[in-house]
Amino acid sequence: MRIFEKIDKMQAFLTAHNVKNDAIGFVPTMGALHQGHISLIKRALVENEVVVCSIFVNPTQFNKQEDLDNYPRTLEEDLKKLEQAGCHVAFVPSVAEMYPKPDNRKFDFGDLEHVMEGEFRPGHFNGVGVVVSKLLEIVKPHRAYFGQKDFQQLAVIRKLVKLINSPVEVIGCPTMREDDGLAMSSRNLRLSADDRKHSLLLYQALTKAKQMADEGKSPDEIRGEVKALFDASQNVELEYFEIANSETLQPVTDWKNAQESTACIAAWLNGVRLIDNMTLFP
């Protein structure tokens, strides 16, 4: 595996592949890699001749300095995992390399950015848009792989590539979970042993929501039930639970017009924020 810190060096390497018309698959990450990330790499390896994974903790998408400071950084182990998975290129730029000068672009993601994550993390998606557009410009991949774990982010990225007229094909990949159901996340590393147990409430709430939707319960009945589950917990604080139209991400009020809906959740455990989601087929 080749490791590049500098944009020009990586681009020189990729040029040789471009000349051969090799398809380039790209997996952007913030590191602290787990099997969820590796599942994206594996998929990219099946579909492309060359796979590039970036590891960059992007400061512009953090709306809390503390969250940025505490974000887990495990570069050495990450590189080993990428190598083992068969990844061809790791791109590990510094902040100065990515932002030689401030990038003040503002993207208009429309209604997508005002709900859920957008409401509770102001500026987050603009920061994601800035860094992903830069990375796509640098790597020029044919396909880019994103996890459905970050469901709203995936919708924002699909919108982004339209806004910037990028020819990249955006591919959404299923959420990888621990055996007990907890969605894999770099932030899980920050959970204490007790909180790791309590964190299961997110998956339990989503499973309950799906079960209720299958039984024909209304979106509001489900919202009430999930709120009650969290009200009864002393350890997990619900930030939001929403049943959103999977395309528009707007709240679903009844099942009539919602072709496919997704239950989305964010909750806090002692300063660690976790998100998860589950598709509902009412």
Catalytic residue IDs: 37
Residue 39 binds to ligand AMP (criterion: CB under 6 A): yes
Minimum distance between the CB of residue 171 and ligand AMP, rounded to whole angstroms?
Answer: 10
Binding mask 121-160 for ligand AMP (x = CB under 6 A): -------------------------xx-xx----------
The verdict on 30 binding ligand AMP (CB under 6 A) reads yes
For the chain, the C-alpha Rg in angstroms (whole number) is 19
Binding window for ligand AMP (CB under 6 A); candidates: 1-9, 91-99, 182-190, 217-225? 182-190
Query: Of the listed pieces 9-17, 116-124, 176-184, 259-267, which binds ligand AMP according to CB under 6 A?
Result: 176-184
Closer to ligand AMP by CB, 170 or 236: give it: 170
Q: How far apart are CA 130 and CA 105, in angstroms?
A: 7
How far is Cα 184 from Cα 59, in angstroms, rounded to an integer? 22
* Rounded CA separation 196/233 (Å): 14
In the complex, the smallest distance separating the C-beta of residue 253 from ligand AMP, rounded to whole angstroms, is: 28
Answer yes or no whether residue 176 interacts with ligand AMP by CB under 6 A: yes
By CB under 6 A, name the one of 38, 92, 130, 183 that touches ligand AMP: 183
- The pattern of x and - marking residues 82 through 101 that bind ligand AMP according to CB under 6 A reads --------------------
Pick the piece of the chain touching ligand AMP (CB under 6 A) from 68-76, 134-142, 181-189, 198-206: 181-189
Judged by beta carbon, residue 78 or residue 195, the one nearer ligand AMP is: 78
Q: Does 185 interact with ligand AMP (rule: CB under 6 A)?
A: yes
Q: How far is the CB of 177 from ligand AMP (least distance, A)?
A: 7
Smallest separation (angstroms) from ligand AMP to the CB of 40 = 6
Would you tell me which residues interact with ligand AMP (CB under 6 A)?
A: 29-30, 36-37, 39-40, 146-147, 149-150, 173, 175-176, 183-186
